[in-house]
Structure 1
Amino acid sequence: MALVIPVILGSVRQGRSGLRAARYVAGALASRGHEAPVVDPAELALPLLTRMYKEYPKGEAPEPLERLATLLRRSDAFVVVSAEYNHSIPPALSNTLDHFLEEYFWRPSAIVCYSAGRYGGVRAAMQLRAMLGELGTPSIPSLLPIPEIQKALDEEGRPLQPWLERPAGRFLDELTWYAEALRDKRQGGVPY
């Protein structure tokens, strides 16, 4: 059965490489029959967090927040694509994620991290793992780090290096397993 797995991009910088990773993962999920829309904070243009989505009176949230809330509520899992900014996650990613809370509950997340260098953004992934757990969307054990992203993926998200396919396949297998297991469990009810 098809899953709904938004791919949440973390960067709004000019010339950002994360769009390559988001397109790659969204395409890989779509090729497995899943719905994988890319959530792009540059397109959403969300305000800095002054009020969470749930703090708006019903029907009064800005349209981009309402649209994103609708997508998150019908999702089975999330893939978060993060660069590493100063050994941490990008502010646009934190801002996008922090607008919501209950919409993430009881759904797994998975972290794709990247960098122009050799470490693939893993230092940001460690902080992101704690944040996602606190939001109620714990990350799966595996990460998909993409070092030297400009050499690994082209601008459309097509692999340039053969090494990427194997770890990406295993990573998505693991995410699918968790997403299906938690979807089935949610259908029977949640603890609160």
Structure 2
Amino acid sequence: MPDRILVFYGSYRRDRMGIRLAKFLVARLRDRGADAELIDAQDVGLPMLDRMYKEHEPGTAPEAMEKLAAKIKAADAFVFVTGEYNWGPQPGLKNLTDHFLEEWFWRPAAIASYSAGRIAGARSSFTWHGTLSEMGMVVISSTLAVGPIADTFDADARPIGPMGEGIERAFGRFADDLAWWTEAAKIQRARKPPPY
């Protein structure tokens, strides 16, 4: 049975470049046999956080939240694609993830960051690592950092030029690391129920 991996993306900007990285990751994970799906915060369209999923009475959460909760619970692993806004992740990505908590527990997460410049979203990646850990995920040590993103992918999310060649080389280790932790977490969850 293939690993079920959700790839989250959270920019709401008109000219979104990071979606190219998200689509690249989904395609490459599928090439490796994973059941990968892009979750675009803009498409999901959750409101600014008022009530978390768990704060709704069973069956009363908004439909988009209910559907996403089911997908998160069924997933084996997560990839978060984060751009850098003033040293932090996009508010759309943070808002989407904050609607859930226990749904994330006991699964691995990976971070792929990007920016328009050469820093490649590294500061956002650093910030996001602590956030995901606090939300109950095991964050893998391998990361992808893409920048400048416009020099790395074309409009169809295909890697281009030397930067694109670099991301192709880096992807293998990133995916191998995520696959190892995904398998380890699956085995452990089957062997022993989580402690809470």
- Alignment TM class, shorter chain as reference: over 0.9
- Verify the 8 A CA contact 1:118 1:147 in the aligned structure 2: yes
Paired position in structure 1 for 2:76: 76
- Structure 2 counterpart of 1:32, one-letter code: R
* Residue 191 in structure 1 maps to residue 170 in structure 2: no
Give a deviation string over 1:94-130, Cα, whole Å, max 9, x none. Answer: 1000000111100010000001100110000111000
Give the length in aligned residue pairs. Answer: 192
Paired position in structure 1 for 2:16: 16
- Secondary structure of the corresponding residue to residue 127 of structure 2: helix
Question: Shift in Å at residue 155 of structure 1?
Answer: 2.1
Question: Shift in Å at residue 156 of structure 1?
Answer: 2.2
Distance 1:110 1:181 in 2: 15
- Structure 2 counterpart of 1:42, one-letter code: Q
The TM-score, its normalising length taken from structure 1, stands at 0.98
Give a deviation string over 1:146-185, Cα, whole Å, max 9, x none. Answer: 1111110112221112121111111011001001110110
> RMSD across aligned C-alpha pairs, in angstroms?
0.8
- Structure 1 counterpart of 2:15, one-letter code: G
Paired position in structure 1 for 2:135: 135
Paired position in structure 2 for 1:168: 171
- Secondary structure of the corresponding residue to residue 142 of structure 1: strand
Give runs of aligned pairs for residues 29-178 of structure 1, distance below 5 A: 29-160=29-160, 161-178=164-181
- Structure 1 counterpart of 2:172, one-letter code: G
Distance 2:25 2:46 in 1: 23
- Secondary structure of the corresponding residue to residue 6 of structure 1: strand
- Verify the 8 A CA contact 2:77 2:182 in the aligned structure 1: yes
The TM-score, its normalising length taken from structure 2, stands at 0.96
For structure 1, the 5+ residue unaligned runs are: none
For structure 2, the 5+ residue unaligned runs are: none
State the identity as a percent.
Answer: 43
Distance 2:158 2:7 in 1: 16
